[in-house]
């Protein structure tokens, strides 16, 4: 193809198996949206909102904290490891649903957390599959943008599906039914992966001299790719408390729903716009610019947080949402060795989720002491720090600075100028 053009979305979807992988992505995300929502409602009905909050928090932390470790473990095992992990998670969710309602709420809460700890890394595997399926970087840019937009819309739809399902069945069985979707998603993933070209040989497996792959978060590339996504999560989490507080100053708090929708709409618009254009700048520059756009959006929010224009500011905060993710996925394809790409994609998902939980918790405390403008300014400062970290990425990918660089069992000294092992 002519490298001065960017393939349209129809062209990208015409690539063999592209539609199948995209559909599997939607299927694999449905449990991620349905199950936590159903857990929150089920525990609220049975034990009250206080215990429900504990259960929802335990589930989300159990999914997010060991996410990269689960992905790393599955990457070093046969393909059957993913559906087996999915089966174990489904059984635990079913056990949690069947015991919810017992007087001892600790048992279903523990089972729910255990099920979350075994939540299979379906989306990270599918993200890594795109680089094996698409012919070049321009196709990757378009498909990642399309996939990320579909992800945003999936998480808009899942609460609606959950609400409809819970009008027909008990919320406890919606948990089990939502978890059950993990099985066909895992089976479909394995079928797709078996038809794709190999991802490459694991360097750690090819040596018998104590050489191992280090976690990508310990590398300069890994931190530069992941930290902006964590900052994005902090902003998204803090918005859950900033938006209602800001709306309460000029309207009814119920109107905050419009601003939450504006945030997701901004992400969808930004993703589609980014994916349709060919960018001459390097991915490092794009990552820096997208994170800097987050700074601009949060500064605008600080300026407008007490006016009806809050909805416009929130839309602007959402605009870089999908581009930050898309550029991060492209950087994983460019900078991280193939055997570690599933782990790297898991770090992006877990980083956003942990950032979101932290942003909601700390944002709520700061909001109680000050106000929405101060919280927005704090978010701008956090995003600015993440912009500097993104800017410190090496400008181009070379064998010396790829994220999968091997390290020996003995720690190597670090060059303070390059960030690479000496």
pLDDT tens column, 233-253:
999 888 888 888 887 777 766
What sections of 196-338 are H helices per DSSP?
220-247, 256-275, 283-304, 310-318, 321-335
The CATH number assigned to the domain holding 354 equals 1.20.1250.20
Q: What is the pLDDT of residue 316?
A: 95
User: Going by DSSP bridges, is the β-strand pair 212-213/406-407 parallel, antiparallel, or unpaired?
Assistant: antiparallel
Task: Find all residues with CB under 8 Å of 318, minimum gap 6, and list them.
Answer: 262, 263, 264, 265, 266, 267, 270, 297
Q: E-strand spans in 20-128?
A: none
Judge whether 111 and 92 are in contact, CB under 8 Å. Answer: yes
pTM recorded for the entire structure: 0.77
Q: Is the pLDDT of residue 272 over 70?
A: yes
Closest CA to 232 of 284, 282, 297: 297
Question: Token digits for 6?
Answer: 């960017």
Question: Token digits for 44?
Answer: 């609220």
Do 307 and 181 belong together in one domain? no
C-alpha to C-alpha distances, 358 to 61, 74, 232, 262, 317, nearest whole angstrom: 11, 27, 11, 22, 18
Task: Find all residues with CB under 8 Å of 63, minimum gap 6, and list them.
Answer: 32, 116, 117, 119, 353
Domain membership flag for residue 302: yes
Do 242 and 346 belong together in one domain? yes
H or E segment at 407?
strand 406-407
Identify the domain containing residue 66 by its residue range: 19-198
Q: Is the pLDDT of residue 414 over 60?
A: no
Largest CA distance in the chain: 66
Q: Is the pLDDT of residue 212 over 70?
A: no
Question: Number of folded domains in the chain?
Answer: 2
DSSP 8-class letter at 213: E
pLDDT, average across residues 31-55: 87
Do 228 and 146 belong together in one domain? no
The percentage of residues in the chain with a pLDDT greater than 90, rounded to a whole number, is 35
Average pLDDT score, the chain: 83
List residues bridging with 414 in a β-sheet.
421
Return the ∠ at Cα 137 (arms to 136 and 138), rounded to 5°. 95
Do 169 and 289 belong together in one domain? no
Do 227 and 174 belong together in one domain? no
Q: E-strand spans in 227-269?
A: none
| 200 — pLDDT class (breaks 50, 70, 90) | low
Tell me the C-alpha distance between 45 and 97, whole Å.
13
Most confident of 175-184, 186-195, 329-338: 175-184
Domain membership flag for residue 341: yes
Domain membership flag for residue 413: no
Do 388 and 240 belong together in one domain? yes
Do 105 and 224 belong together in one domain? no
Q: What is the pLDDT of residue 192?
A: 86
Q: Is the pLDDT of residue 275 over 70?
A: yes
Judge whether 76 and 215 are in contact, CB under 8 Å. Answer: no
Do 310 and 335 belong together in one domain? yes
Q: What is the pLDDT of residue 265?
A: 85
Domain membership flag for residue 4: no
Do 38 and 96 belong together in one domain? yes
Judge whether 363 and 241 are in contact, CB under 8 Å. Answer: yes
Do 247 and 368 belong together in one domain? yes
| 122 — pLDDT class (breaks 50, 70, 90) | very high
Judge whether 300 and 313 are in contact, CB under 8 Å. Answer: yes
pLDDT, average across residues 13-33: 90
Domain end marker among 172, 198, 224: 198
| 396 — pLDDT class (breaks 50, 70, 90) | low
Q: What is the pLDDT of residue 317?
A: 95
Closest CA to 33 of 185, 147, 155, 172: 155
DSSP 8-class letter at 406: E
Do 125 and 257 belong together in one domain? no
- By the 10 Å C-beta count (0-12 exposed, 13-18 middle, 19+ buried), 403 is classed as buried
Task: Report how many helices (DSSP H) and strands (DSSP E) the chain contains, helices first.
Answer: 17, 2
Q: What is the pLDDT of residue 254?
A: 63
pLDDT, average across residues 125-139: 83
Provide the phi-psi class of 101: left if phi over 0, else alpha when psi is between -120 and 50, else beta. left
Judge whether 63 and 121 are in contact, CB under 8 Å. Answer: no
CB neighbourhood size of 57 (10 A): 16
């Amino acid at each position: 193809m002519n490298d001065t053009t960017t393939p349209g979305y129809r062209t990208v979807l015409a690539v063999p198996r592209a539609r199948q992988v995209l559909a599997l992505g939607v299927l694999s995300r449905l449990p991620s949206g349905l199950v936590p929502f159903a857990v929150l409602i089920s525990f609220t009905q049975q034990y009250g909102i206080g215990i429900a909050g504990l259960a929802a928090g335990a589930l989300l932390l159990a999914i997010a904290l060991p996410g990269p470790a689960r992905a790393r473990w599955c990457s070093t095992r046969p393909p059957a490891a993913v559906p087996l992990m999915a089966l174990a998670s489904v059984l635990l969710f079913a056990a949690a649903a069947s015991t919810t309602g017992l007087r001892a709420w600790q048992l279903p809460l523990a089972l729910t957390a255990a099920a979350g700890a075994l939540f299979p890394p379906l989306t990270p595997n599918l993200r890594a599959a795109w680089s094996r399926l698409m012919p070049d970087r321009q196709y990757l840019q378009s498909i990642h943008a399309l996939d990320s937009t579909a992800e945003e819309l999936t998480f808009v739809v899942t609460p609606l599906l959950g609400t409809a399902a819970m009008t027909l069945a008990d919320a406890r069985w919606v948990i089990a039914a939502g978890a059950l979707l993990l099985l066909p998603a895992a089976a479909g993933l394995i079928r797709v992966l078996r038809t794709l070209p190999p991802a490459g040989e694991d360097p750690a497996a090819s040596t018998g001299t104590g050489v191992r792959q280090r976690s990508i978060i310990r590398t300069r590339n890994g931190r530069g790719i992941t930290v902006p996504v964590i900052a994005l999560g902090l902003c998204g989490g803090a918005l859950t408390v900033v938006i209602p507080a800001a709306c309460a100053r000029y309207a009814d708090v119920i109107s905050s729903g419009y601003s939450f929708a504006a945030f997701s709409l901004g992400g969808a618009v930004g993703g589609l716009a980014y994916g349709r254009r060919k960018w001459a700048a390097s991915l490092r520059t794009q990552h820096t610019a997208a994170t800097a756009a987050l700074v601009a959006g949060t500064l605008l929010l600080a300026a407008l947080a007490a006016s009806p224009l809050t909805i416009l500011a929130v839309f602007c905060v959402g605009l870089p949402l999908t581009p930050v993710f898309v550029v991060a996925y492209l950087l994983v394809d460019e900078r991280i060795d193939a055997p570690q790409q599933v782990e790297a994609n898991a770090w992006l998902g877990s980083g956003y989720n942990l950032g979101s939980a932290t942003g909601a918790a700390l944002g709520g405390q700061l909001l109680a002491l000050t106000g929405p403008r101060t919280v927005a300014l704090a978010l701008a400062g956090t995003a600015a720090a993440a912009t500097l970290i993104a800017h410190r990425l090496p400008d181009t990918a070379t064998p010396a600075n790829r994220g999968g660089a091997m390290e020996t069992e003995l720690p190597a000294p670090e060059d303070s100028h390059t960030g690479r092992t000496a």
